Amino acid sequence: MLDENLLRKYDALAPRYTSYPTAPHFHPSFGENQYEQHAERSNATILPKDLSIYIHIPFCHSLCYFCGCNKVVTKAGGHKVEDYIEHLMAEIAMRGRLFNGDRLVTQIHFGGGTPNFLKPHQLAEILEAVATHFHLDLPPNLDISIEIDPRTISPSQIEELFAIGFSRFSIGVQDFSKPVQSAINRQQSESNTLACIAEASRLSKSVNVDLITGLPKQTPESFEKTLRKVIDAGVTRIAAYSFAYLPERIKAQRMIDKDSLPDTQIRMRTTQLTRDILLDAGYQHIGMDHYALPEDRLAKAQLNKTLQRNFQGYTTHKDTDLIGIGVSAISKFDTAYSQNSSTLSIYNEMIDNQTLPIVKGIALTEDDRLRAAVIQDIMCHSNVDLSRTVSSIVERNSPLQLLDYFKNELKALSEFINDGLVSPTKVGFDITDEGRYFMRPIAAVFDRYLDNGNKGNSGVVPFSRVV
């Protein structure tokens, strides 16, 4: 069990670093023109990167109280959904025009919301539009994945999704415990969920299950039962996120009884138990909160040092430019991030006006890119080798100069070193096994944007507790 003093010391608010700079630091002066310039620049590089496409489907049948995703709770079959699909298609065409023919798409991911809110034929239409306006790589290099809510799909519908091209499935479970499900307003049939996992595993080499630790009414013992069922189902990847409780920012979370939330010690016990059980079952710990069987591409990517972290979590798709399509979707180049409007009506209106629906973003400085590379190495590899970092960003600096460049940060790490969470090396540092529970505060040492109160452009503290 982790030392309680360490828990007290490091269980602070910190970003999850799915990007650096983090989204609260995107600003509204970055719009369509800036995006187009960065797209052009990315086409003009000597070896242009492959492309990865994220498509956001915001619709959900009901509201889960823990959820911080961009979503619209609505009824199936309504005009709103058809209308959104038309706008998505228009955005796909607008984005496609910006990228040269040598930019191959190697990944398409549908996230939400609930992507399987759409019928298979609607998803197929969207995929067809992507194939029309972009150049797709061929399988097995092309990976098409989808997040599934098993409450609204049957095993035979998963087979239909496989038939239209989906090769990887990520299934939302969160927790099988009935008291937890009722506290988060997400009643989910265990038998249908397990049947969906079985069907997805029959069809695909890679099936992920999302779980959440720290939910209301959850105990380490109750969570262990969920975990064992998921392991028995044979999934190749498990994401065990810690619950980000931010009721000031996420309205739905105000429906959760604060007194039903587990305290820090219980949350940490659950997190540690999760790691112990999964390692014992043969999974490898990936980055901060993911686990994968050795044969899964995620485990291989960690081994080959090609693992990446982006807005969807951990990915095997190294070095792609990310095109985010749909309401609230985020795009990424080496040199910039941008985000679409999070409001459905504004998103639709901007597309109607033939404008890319980008409402904010940020152009990255060289310092941003260096720090982003260090933070990426912390979050993905638990190891920072400044000579490797620097060669990927600026060729003129030697590792020695970089040690000097980051001298204040390396000094600030001494606390973590004294506590046995970080171990220094000649060219950087490693994060110890215990330190992996505190990757976020370790990464935060390199974050220049963290100011008093950690507030971004919105003026609201946007980050959750570390544990």
CB 142 within 8 A of CB 106: yes
Q: Measured from the CB of residue 104, what is the shortest distance to ligand SF4 in angstroms?
A: 30
In the complex with ligand SF4, the residue whose CB is nearer, 25 or 237, is 237
Q: Measured from the CB of residue 252, what is the shortest distance to ligand SF4 in angstroms?
A: 7
Q: Measured from the CB of residue 313, what is the shortest distance to ligand SF4 in angstroms?
A: 14
To 10 degrees, the CA torsion angle through 440, 445, 450, 452?
A: 110
β-sheet bridge partners, residue 172:
210
For the chain, the farthest-separated pair of C-alpha atoms sits apart, in whole angstroms, at 61
State both tokens at 41. 């620049």
d(CA 288, CA 382): 9
Instruction: Determine the distance from the C-alpha atom of residue 420 to the mean position of all C-alpha atoms in its chain, rounded to a whole number.
Output: 28
247 Cβ contact partners less than 8 Å away, ≥ 6 residues apart = 253, 254, 256, 258
Q: Which amino acid is at 148?
A: I
Please report which helix (H) or strand (E) contains residue 411, including its range.
helix 407-412
Q: Measured from the CB of residue 71, what is the shortest distance to ligand SF4 in angstroms?
A: 5
Q: Measured from the CB of residue 112, what is the shortest distance to ligand SF4 in angstroms?
A: 5
To 10 degrees, the CA torsion angle through 443, 456, 355, 128?
A: 40
Q: Measured from the CB of residue 241, what is the shortest distance to ligand SF4 in angstroms?
A: 11
In the complex with ligand SF4, the residue whose CB is nearer, 159 or 210, is 210
In the complex with ligand SF4, the residue whose CB is nearer, 114 or 389, is 114
In the complex with ligand SF4, the residue whose CB is nearer, 242 or 397, is 242
Nearest CA to 302 out of 313, 286, 318 is that of 286
d(CA 104, CA 329): 20
Residues that bind ligand SF4 (CB under 6 A): 60, 63-64, 67, 69, 71, 112-114, 149, 172
In the complex with ligand SF4, the residue whose CB is nearer, 146 or 386, is 146
Instruction: Give the chain's radius of gyration (CA, Å).
Output: 21
In the complex with ligand SF4, the residue whose CB is nearer, 17 or 59, is 59
Q: Measured from the CB of residue 302, what is the shortest distance to ligand SF4 in angstroms?
A: 27
In the complex with ligand SF4, the residue whose CB is nearer, 150 or 361, is 150
